Structures are given as structure tokens and as C-alpha cells.
Amino acid sequence: MRFYPGRHKHYCGIDLHARTMYVCILDVEGEECLSAD
């Protein structure tokens, strides 16, 4: 798998393996901006 090396203001992760989706958005410092279940 190839990875995108670019830098952005925010990052988003989605857990696709869970029964309920969980979304988390982080800023550049790694601080959580938004999390939703």
C-alpha cells in the first residue's frame, strides 16, 4: 500500500471494522477537533 506524504491542517480517521462507525478528526498537533459515533 502506498501512503500520501502531504501535510494538511486536519486529519480524519474512520474505523471501518466496527459495527458502528466512529470518526475522529485531529489537527496538526494531534489534538482532537471532532469525534462522532
Question: Is the pTM for the entire model greater than 0.75?
Answer: no
Report the pLDDT value the prediction gives residue 20, as an integer from 0 to 100.
78
Residue 23 near residue 12, CB atoms below 8 Å: yes
Measured CA angle at 13 (ends 24, 29), to 5 deg: 70
In the predicted structure, residue 1 carries a pLDDT above the cut 60: no
Burial of 24 (0-12, 13-18, 19+ CB in 10 A): middle
What are 4-37's pLDDT values in tens digits?
788 888 888 777 776 777 788 888 888 888 787 7
pLDDT for the residue 37: 78
How far apart (Å, rounded) are the C-alpha atoms in residues 30 and 36? 17
State whether the Cα torsion 11-28-10-4 is positive or negative: negative
